[in-house]
Structures are given as C-alpha cells and as structure tokens.
C-alpha cells in the first residue's frame, strides 16, 4: 500500500513514499574480497577434460532408456488406456482422414506430381511418425509451403515432356542429355531422401534448437509470401488455362504476366465451377462450421463434400470430355512398389533440399510446441529431427515428397479429442482403404475444384499480413525483417527469399545484442542498494567513488565500446577530474575528486582474454591519475576468466563478491590516505 503524496525534503520529487514492512535484517561481517569469499564458500572450479566428459557420457548410457528414447512409442504405448483414449483417438483419426483426402490430392498436384502422391504421404508418413515422433497431436503429410518448394525443385530437374516438331521427331531441351530422363516423382523422392539424411545429420550434431533462429517475423513474412506463391500457381487451374511453368527469380511476376495474356482464353466452365466451389467453401468456413461447432464436436468435412460433389457432377455431366475441363486423371490402386531414388539426382538436389529441410522442421517444431504447452507434455527437438529423418527416408522409397505437419489438420486432431498418435494410425488405416479400393473413383475430379479448395485454405496464411501492426509495435527491426522477407520471397523466389530473410533476421539479432546498457550507480540512503542514478531520483553518488555498471558480454569485438563508455560516464581522464556529489538533504559536498572506479560485473556473462587485457590497460591508465580500479560481483565464469588472464600475465585486479564490499574497501582506503 502507498501513502498519499507527501513533500520530500530536497524538493526534487513529490512522489509518495512507500510504507516499509516490519521485516528487517542486519548482517555483520568483514569486508571480503572475492578470493576470501571463495575460500569461505569452498568454491571449486569444475572443468572436466574432454576424456572425462566422454567417459561420463558413456557411463550414463542405459540401453533400455536409450532404446525408448529413440522409439518414443515404447514409452507411451504400454501406458495407453483403451478405456479413456481409444474412442477419442478413433474419432480424431477418422476426422483427420476425411481432411487428408482432398488436401493430399490438392497438395500433391501443387508439388508438381500426381494427386495420389499426397494420399501415399497420408499413409506412410503418419505411420512412421507415430513410431518416432514425440508430439501427440500434429498431423503429418502434405503442407502447402513444402509442396510449393518441392514443385520448384521438380520444375528445375524433371525432364520436360518432349514436344513434337514439324518433321515428326521429338524435340528435347538442350540442357537435358538424350539418354537422361527424370520424372517429377523421381525428383521429388530424391528431395525427400536428401531431406531425411539432413535431418539425421542435424540430430547427430544436436541441432534441435536450430529452428529458434527463425524468428516470428521471419516465419510470418515467409509463410505469407509463400501463400502468395501458392495462390498464383492455382490461378491457371481456376481459369482453366495453360501457362509456361517458370523457374528461378521473378517467377511470380512472370506467371502473373502470362496469366493476364492468357486470361481471354479462359475456360468459362472451369471459371464458373471455381467460383461455385470458392463460395461454397467460404460459406462453410465462415458460417456453417462455427455454428455447427457449438452443436457437435465433429467438424463439418466441407473439403470432402466439395471433392465428392465435384467428382459426381463432373462424372454425370462429363466436364472433361464435353467441356474441356482439366481433370485429376488416373489414380492407380494399391500401394507403390519400393524404389530407391536415382543416385545422380540425390547429388543434384542436395543444395536445393536445405531450404525444404529447414522449413519443414520449423513448422513441425512450432506446431508441436504449441500443443505440448497446451496439454503439458514434452516435445524433444532432437528426437523430432530423428522422426522427420525416418519419415522422409521411408517416404522416399514409396513415392512420397518431403513431409511437414498441416496446421489445419493438426488443430482438428487436437480439437476432436485426439490423445496420442494412435489417431494417426487410425487415419493411416482409413487412407489404406482409400488407396486400395476408392482412389479410382476420384479420377473425374476437376482440377479447378482442388485449386479452389487450396485458395480458400490459404486464408489463414494470407491474413498474417495484418501482423505488420503487431511487429511495428514490437520494434522497427521486427517490422523490417517481416517486410524484407515477404518482399524477397514474393519478388525473387522462395529459397533465395528465405536465405535473405534468415540473414536479415540474424543481423537484427546481432544488432540487438550489440546494443549495450551502461550507467552510473548510486545508493539509496540507508539501504546499501545500488541503482542507476539516471532512473532513480533518490539515488546519490558516493563521495570520491564512481560505480560503473555494464550489461552484456565484454570481448574483442566491443572492448573499445566498453572503454569509451567507461571514460565517458566516469570522466576520470578529463583534465578536471571532479564530481558534484548531491545529498538527499538538499545540500551538496561540493567538487570531489574521484579516487576509485568500481566496475559492476553482475550483468556481464562472459569476458575473453582481449577484454581482460583491456581491463589491465584501464587499470594502468587510472593508476597514472591516482584512481584505483575495483571489480565487483562477477559471475563464476567471469571470475574464472579473470583468473586465467592473471595466470598469463594480465590482470592483478582487486575483485569483490558484491558492490558494497568494494565500496567499503574503497572508503577504507580513502580514509587511510
């Protein structure tokens, strides 16, 4: 509780004084230097050798726990409750499988491969992740962004279909040797294989927290721009036109230009069908689904209704043969035979696969962490790398493209009561039925229906453009990262734009870390508490003593900044080395010569040898003007660094465990003089 405003003696402030509680403490001890305190506390510097660390790691390995850690299903499956969890998982699995059918077909076509590839992913990827993954709720399979990135690689390395010349011979592109042909699915599986290898390598290197380098503005700007790419790729199917498939920089601009040129040739039947499906999906998503969610726990399968309805209407009317509307085409039954990706392609797509790998892992980790926090369980980053590696490697042998988790399907799996990855197993079994018997019934499905479903599903990513306001409030650097990433991805290309965004994000992180905070400290009367005199009006400097606080690491890169800030704040090297010391009672002690500088190291996490050498130079310079240098409150790692520097000929500092110890020592030295 705060009292009403009362006058303060020196008239500097009219703020209220707080009421102090009755709890007080009094400590009586000698003034200690850091070395004395370390002897008192029996401080021991623990720095094991590399052999000791390796030996300790080997001794800590337990075969059973290691096996369970590598196969998380062995941890939770024995404790699975058939009574409490089975029905919920079956419900969630059925619901997700219903969504997998239209999304898998749509995003398979988006990736530049056949529609049934997305259905294969819904079967194989979900099963493998259930064995290796640690998240209980994410739904693996197709994802718009990774499908689009895969499509770019497919367009780069897949052999185009030969065109027939006027003399009746096949004309092959000059860049492709006549004896080398790579189908789109071979390129896509090669990307999946390389991504799986990268995931395992990252797991071995313990790079599980790599996704944290992708800041929120970066991810938001990238996914929003990727949604623009996806939308542009679907316009041709919405209009029923054919345009060249551009690759490389500025393909969005080139594609839009080609769409404008070809738009007069639009297939009106495809346009009308697209409009009807878009209006239907918007009505379902904006009105019917929110209303139905209050009445029933099962979400309305609007996408499946659109797919089934479009297939039936197309079959009855004959949209393909009678109206020249593009159809999905042949969907083979059964599971694909295992096939190893071409070795030559694995080497060719290695660099291009890096971006797919990073994006896929970032999406999986971000969604996994969201559900883990909601339901209070742990998602292990390095094990997620193992899970993604196994999922992509197995998928690459069975005609699958790189995987990620779907945002919409994962949310649905959580909302419908899914408890474990048994829901994914049920979803996979339903997809198996689809692949074995039902798949061919969707051959009459118009491609414009799938394009309309994709465009409506992009709303969630496109509305992220409103995040600009939030990032503007957070800071100019966040806004700059979002804008640069978005514009780079849209204007240039996905992988190059992502690289630019990562670089800008790291630069922004470096700039934030480079900004240091420093100040002079004073004490609040009768408290022995030292605070920034610029922020605390009642704080006063001590006679003859300057206390300098620095926040941040001190190293070779910023040692000059530290030294400049120290001399600027303390003014100890100026010709007139004096300071006006205010007193709380309104009087002043007049001009006092500074005799001691105390550096508060409590907020310094690290010092290197160059920083210790710089402190030695400062100590020598101050001694020339009869000013003593004291160091106070270092962390143990900083203290060890100072001792190491002293061992190699630098240092010789007076170090104290607290600022007050250093102050008492300085006052005692001054009185002795």
Residue 95 neighbours by CB under 8 Å, 6+ apart: 298, 299, 301, 412, 413, 416
d(CA 165, CA 651): 82
Q: What is the pLDDT, as a whole number, of residue 140? A: 92
- SS3 of residue 656 by DSSP: strand
Flag whether pLDDT at 151 surpasses 60: yes
CA distances from 190 to 163, 331, 396, 398, 583 (A): 26, 22, 7, 11, 75
d(CA 160, CA 351): 21
d(CA 108, CA 95): 20
Across residues 371-388, what is the average pLDDT? Answer: 89
User: In this predicted model, what pLDDT tens digit does every residue of 61-83 receive, in sequence order?
Assistant: 567 777 887 889 988 889 888 88
* 8 Å CB contact between 241 and 233: no
Q: What is the pLDDT, as a whole number, of residue 591? A: 42
User: In this predicted model, what pLDDT tens digit does every residue of 210-260 receive, in sequence order?
Assistant: 766 778 888 889 889 988 988 998 999 999 998 887 877 888 999 999 999
For residues 505-520, b (16+ Cβ closer than 10 Å) or e, as one string? beebeeeeeeeeebbb
Q: What is the pLDDT, as a whole number, of residue 362? A: 85
Flag whether pLDDT at 506 surpasses 80: yes
pLDDT band per the 50, 70, 90 thresholds, residue 427: very high
Q: What is the pLDDT, as a whole number, of residue 187? A: 94
Q: What is the pLDDT, as a whole number, of residue 7? A: 42
Helix, strand, coil: what percent of the chain each, to 5?
A: 60, 10, 30
Element (H, E) at 670: helix 659-672
Flag whether pLDDT at 294 surpasses 50: yes
* 8 Å CB contact between 450 and 328: yes
Locus of tokens 């394009």: 451
CB atoms closer than 10 angstroms to residue 298:
15
**Quick one: how far is CA 413 from the chain centroid?**
22
Across residues 325-349, what is the average pLDDT? Answer: 89
Across the chain, mean pLDDT equals 83
DSSP state of 657: S
Q: What is the pLDDT, as a whole number, of residue 386? A: 94
Closest CA to 98 of 330, 303, 284: 303
Backbone angles phi, psi at 656, to 5 degrees: -130, 150
Report H helices in 466-593.
467-474, 476-491, 494-514, 559-570
Determine what percent of the chain is predicted with pLDDT higher than 70.
86
User: In this predicted model, what pLDDT tens digit does every residue of 428-461 receive, in sequence order?
Assistant: 999 999 999 888 889 899 999 999 998 998 888 8
Locus of tokens 């030695």: 616
User: In this predicted model, what pLDDT tens digit does every residue of 529-557 receive, in sequence order?
Assistant: 899 888 888 888 888 899 999 988 888 88
Pair type for strands 578-582 and 588-593: antiparallel
User: In this predicted model, what pLDDT tens digit does every residue of 31-48 receive, in sequence order?
Assistant: 878 787 777 777 776 665
Determine what percent of the chain is predicted with pLDDT higher than 90.
33
The DSSP-derived string for 297-310 is SSPP-HHHHHHHHH
Q: What is the pLDDT, as a whole number, of residue 587? A: 43
Which three-class secondary structure string do you get for 59-79?
HHCCHHHHHHHHCCHHHHHHH
- SS3 of residue 474 by DSSP: helix
Flag whether pLDDT at 9 surpasses 80: no
Flag whether pLDDT at 400 surpasses 80: yes
Burial class, 463, CB count within 10 angstroms (exposed 0-12 / middle 13-18 / buried 19+): exposed
Flag whether pLDDT at 519 surpasses 80: yes
Residue 242 neighbours by CB under 8 Å, 6+ apart: 236, 262
User: In this predicted model, what pLDDT tens digit does every residue of 591-615 receive, in sequence order?
Assistant: 458 889 999 999 898 888 888 899 9
Locus of tokens 């530290």: 562
d(CA 450, CA 115): 10
Burial class, 377, CB count within 10 angstroms (exposed 0-12 / middle 13-18 / buried 19+): middle
Burial class, 68, CB count within 10 angstroms (exposed 0-12 / middle 13-18 / buried 19+): middle
Locus of tokens 């390995």: 61
Highest mean pLDDT among 190-199, 233-242, 485-494: 190-199
Q: What is the chain's alpha carbon radius of gyration, rounded to the nearest angstrom? A: 33
Backbone angles phi, psi at 593, to 5 degrees: -80, 135
DSSP state of 136: S
Domain with CATH 3.30.750.24 in the chain: 516-575+592-671
pLDDT band per the 50, 70, 90 thresholds, residue 485: very high
Burial class, 295, CB count within 10 angstroms (exposed 0-12 / middle 13-18 / buried 19+): exposed
CA atoms within a 13 Å half-sphere pointing along the CA-CB vector of 502: 15
Token digits of residue 492:
């240039």
Domain 516-575+592-671: which CATH class? alpha beta
Q: What is the pLDDT, as a whole number, of residue 589? A: 42
Token digits of residue 204:
């071995």
Which three-class secondary structure string do you get for 219-269?
HHHHHHHHHHHHHHHHHHHHHCCCCCCCCCCCHHHHHHHHHHHHHHHCCHH
**Residue of higher predicted confidence among 22 and 214:** 214
pLDDT band per the 50, 70, 90 thresholds, residue 52: low
């Amino acid at each position: 509780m705060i009292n009403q405003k009362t006058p303060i003696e020196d008239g500097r402030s009219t703020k209220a004084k707080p009421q102090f509680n009755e709890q007080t403490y009094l400590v009586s001890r000698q003034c200690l230097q850091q070395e004395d305190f370390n002897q008192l506390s029996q401080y021991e510097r623990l720095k094991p050798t590399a052999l000791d660390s390796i030996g300790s790691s080997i001794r800590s390995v337990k075969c059973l726990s290691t096996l369970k850690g590598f196969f998380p299903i062995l941890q939770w499956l024995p404790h699975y409750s058939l009574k409490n969890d089975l029905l919920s998982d079956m419900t969630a699995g059925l619901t997700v499988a219903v969504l997998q059918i239209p999304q898998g077909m749509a995003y398979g076509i988006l990736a530049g491969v056949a529609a049934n590839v997305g259905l294969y992913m819904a079967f194989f990827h979900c099963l493998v992740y259930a064995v290796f993954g640690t998240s209980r709720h994410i739904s693996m399979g197709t994802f718009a962004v990774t499908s689009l990135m895969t499509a770019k690689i497919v367009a780069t390395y897949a052999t185009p279909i030969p065109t027939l010349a006027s003399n009746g011979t096949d004309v092959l592109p000059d860049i492709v040797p006549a004896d080398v042909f790579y189908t789109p699915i071979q390129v896509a599986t090669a990307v999946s294989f390389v991504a799986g290898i990268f995931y395992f390598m990252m797991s071995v290197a313990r790079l599980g927290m790599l996704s944290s380098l992708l800041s929120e503005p970066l991810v938001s700007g990238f996914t929003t721009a990727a949604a623009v790419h996806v939308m542009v790729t679907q316009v041709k199917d919405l209009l029923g036109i054919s345009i060249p498939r551009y690759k490389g920089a500025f393909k969005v601009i080139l594609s839009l230009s080609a769409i404008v040129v070809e738009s007069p040739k639009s297939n009106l039947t495809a346009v009308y069908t697209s409009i009807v499906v878009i209006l239907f999906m918007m009505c379902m998503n904006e009105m019917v689904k929110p209303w139905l969610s209050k009445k029933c726990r099962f979400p309305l399968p609007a996408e499946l209704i659109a797919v089934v309805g479009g297939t039936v209407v197309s079959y009855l009317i004959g949209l393909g043969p009678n109206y020249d509307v593009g159809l999905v085409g042949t969907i083979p039954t059964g599971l694909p035979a295992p096939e190893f990706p071409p070795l030559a392609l694995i080497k060719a797509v290695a660099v291009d696969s890096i971006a797919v790998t990073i994006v896929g892992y970032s999406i999986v980790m971000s969604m996994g962490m969201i559900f883990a926090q909601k339901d209070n369980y742990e998602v292990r980053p390095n094990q997620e790398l193992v899970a993604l590696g196994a999922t992509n490697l197995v998928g690459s042998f069975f005609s699958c493209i790189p995987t990620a988790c779907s945002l919409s399907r994962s949310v649905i799996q959580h909302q419908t009561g899914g408890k474990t990855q048994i829901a994914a197993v049920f979803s996979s079994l339903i997809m198996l039925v689809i692949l074995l018997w039902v798949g061919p019934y969707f051959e009459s499905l118009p491609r414009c229906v799938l394009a309309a479903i994709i465009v409506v599903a992009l709303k969630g990513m496109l509305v992220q453009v409103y995040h600009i306001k939030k990032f503007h409030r957070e800071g100019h650097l966040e806004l700059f990262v979002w804008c640069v990433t978005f514009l780079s991805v849209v204007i240039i290309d996905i992988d190059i734009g992502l690289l630019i965004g990562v670089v800008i994000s790291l630069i922004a992180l470096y700039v934030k870390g480079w900004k240091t905070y420093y100040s002079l400290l004073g004490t609040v009367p009768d408290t022995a508490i030292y605070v920034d005199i610029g922020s605390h009006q009642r704080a006063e400097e001590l006679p003859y003593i300057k206390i300098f606080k620095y926040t941040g690491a001190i190293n070779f890169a910023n040692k000059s900044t530290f030294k400049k800030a120290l001399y600027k704040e303390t003014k100890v090297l100026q010709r007139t080395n004096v300071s006006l010391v205010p007193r709380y009672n309104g009087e002043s002690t007049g001009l006092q010569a500074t005799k001691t500088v105390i550096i508060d190291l409590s907020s310094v996490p690290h010092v290197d040898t160059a920083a210790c050498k710089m402190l030695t130079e400062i100590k020598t310079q101050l001694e020339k003007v009869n000013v003593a240098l004291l160091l106070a409150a270092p962390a143990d790692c900083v203290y060890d660094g100072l001792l190491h520097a002293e061992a190699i000929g630098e240092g010789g500092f007076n170090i104290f465990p607290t600022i007050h110890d250093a102050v008492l020592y300085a006052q005692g030295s001054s009185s002795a003089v």
